[in-house]
Structure 1
Amino acid sequence: MSIERTMSSPPAETGAGVASPPLSKVHAIAAITIGNGLEFYDFVVYSFFATLIGRLYFPVADPTGQLLLSFATFGVGFLMRPLGGLLIGIYADRVGRKPAVALTLWLMGLSSVIFVVTPTYAQIGMAAPLMILLARLVQGFAIGGEMGASTALLLEYADERSRGYYTSWQPFSQGLAALFGALVGLALSNLLEPAALESWGWRVAFVIGILVIPVGLLIRRRLEETAPAGEHGEEVPGLALLLAHRRALAASILLMIGVASSTYIVVYYLSNYAVSQLHMPLSLGIWAGCVASVVQVLLSPFAGWLCDRLGRRPVVLWSRVALLVGIYPAFALINAEPSLARLLVVVGCLSVPMSMSSPASMVLVSEVLPQRLRATGLSIAYCVAIAIFGGFAQFFSTELIHLTGNPNAPAFYVIGCGLVSLLGLAMVPETLGRRLK
């Protein structure tokens, strides 16, 4: 597929008043992808240090209680996503994609600063977990708005034959962020002594997140705006979605439930599962996140390309069914004889259908929504699903194991969410080749 090298808009003005040429499509997609990846890195790196953060910030004697509180704090950040998605999505639809993306990057940089400077519970008492909670809330608000704005940018840079491929760089960037976060966690946990890692080493991972600020400046200055602002009149985007596009919005939320549950179990939870259930050290458990992220990075562009040829619905359907069929045997296999090799093989196999489903689902949701409401609709659909079924996936899975005594219980959670998502797939038409207004 060929990608145009230049855009037709006039040069952008920099803060100093000097004209700066707009980015080519290749560079624009790279800028969006890198910026998006850095934002998701900030959000997901918490997951790889959840067990350690639980010990430092949540004074509960029971290790399971500590882990549940840490996962709950991870999940609380997702509760702000719908609000961020609605408010920043409206801002993106009314004012433009560029300023919305830049705003979310600044907010993510601020949250990383809070993680870096917050003392532990032993040092300042209850103020410590409250500060961590605040940082997660800011992160959730920012990611909620970024998802719709950046995905709309990617889709609107594409032509009718390449929308799946362009949109696939959204899950690619998430996989890249998870891979980067896992590699950072792996390096820190292997290079530092446990005392150093617990004292200051884990904070280094969040220092890297502050890099979102210069990336935000680059995106704000040179990206071309892809959607005219101010076309709503007195229309309220959230209300318009509920009144005129409620079927599409409901279907989008159901589709995103499948994406949320599978991604957060396979990519993030299994690393902590290896530590808490399989009793592996953190330095080994993080390898599960690395493998899942590598598969997602490698397969996301291919999945986008494939759904531009076969259609969105077939790719979503067959990849989702494959994951539902394989998830329980996968958990049973790693619990029958726990080992790092078996864990990595299982994670790699589960990551294939997960990585194929996500890009096709995202482009399908993007295409059933009108342009003037796309950023808002994308943000609401993704964030509502992620807030409950993604953010609390690790909490629900840990609690299911605790209640049932069955270490394979997380598989039932993925199966239930996957079946619900197939209902959403049945509610939307095939959008391959559809002209977007």
Structure 2
Amino acid sequence: MTTTIRSDREDGWRQKNREGSLLDMHRTVAVSRTAKPWRKAAAFFGPGYLVAVGYMDPGNWATSIAGGSAFGYTLLSVALISNIMAIILQSLCARLAIASGRDLAQACRDAYPAFVAYPLWFLAEIAIIATDIAEVIGTAIGLNLLFGIPLEIGVLITATDVFLILYLQKLGFRWVEAFIITLLGVIAACFAIQIALADPNWGEVIRGFAPTTEIVKNPDMLYLALGILGATVMPHNLYLHSGIVQTRDFGTTLPEKRQALRFATLDSTVALCFALFVNASILILAAAAFHHTGRTEIAELGEAHSLLSPILGAAIAPTLFGIALLCCGLNSTVTATLAGQIVMEGFLNIKLAPWIRRLVTRIIAIVPAALVTIWYGDAGTAELLVLTQVVLSLQLSFAVFPLVLFTADRTKMGDLVAPRWLSAIAVLIALVIAGLNVKLITDFLLG
């Protein structure tokens, strides 16, 4: 029996894929070929929770607190819809990685000519910088709330997290995942206690998950809704997931790939449901503690922290808030670093030492964050946090459309091409995101 090897053009790609994503961690997590299904599923447990981190980062806190305090539970529907979008898009990321052996950045490089690929790379870098700015500010605020460290110094301290990331990567990718999952558990516990203290109106909470046309008609509500969308379905997460799925040594045969896709999708879906719990908790806490007490203007994390104790009547509430925020900031720094590495290596095929890559992106993020903190204080950082999430939303289409097109192309995906119904839903999601962004820009230009 002879095997016909297709050329690069015949398999739908302009260029051959030269190597795997995150080469130093590529296929380093073993997947037993003979283990029981639940043991195999456990081997895929982890990447989804790194992705989930991006759906509850400090930028998300800012938009959710602003939305909850201003509009009560109304924007819970946006969080739910955004999460459903995220589950579908992240499943496509896993499909792309497993079927083609490429992360999204490598796929763009291998599918498009340079005059298309390079602008996509530039936009992806902008998205990562916006993500990093939110993490710098969030971590600095967490340090300030817990230890009284001035924001300006806290911003500078965040640059040292590169050593934590390097240490975890040296131990192995499973240690990175264990660190992330542990902190996610701490975050969930903190919010569970705060929600119990806030005692929200659960009838209103349930009604808040039902969409309303007011969100589109009200420009202020739409701005925050897009901020929540940008903080939930984040561009860098699409690159991240398509890269870290390839840390699993799942095999090369079609049945092995199908099984890997099933387990990877299960992992990300469960993790993103957990992320929805945290996202909704932030918004519910803001609505119950601030909106229903007439504090409809709360948008600053520091202000929210200081008001929790007198409003909820428990001294531990602000401490839990600060701990959860710091954990979110630390988690986000790890995932943003990996996403930045995937984007640069994938688009440009440039290999940089992780610490160099981290310091470069951190410096780019620290400069605007430090300037805003020095000149405008807490109010400026709150506005910058929300702005970064809107920027992420505006960048999102430039990652989503290539992802949807790649996974719907049988010549590129082979037998693992996305079903037509899934591609149709993904196209609808891409068009909704693009349409909302056009609406936002139009409202901005028209004042």
Q: Could you state the TM-score of these two structures normalised by the residue count of structure 1?
A: 0.31
Higher relative contact order (CA 8 A, sep 6+): 2
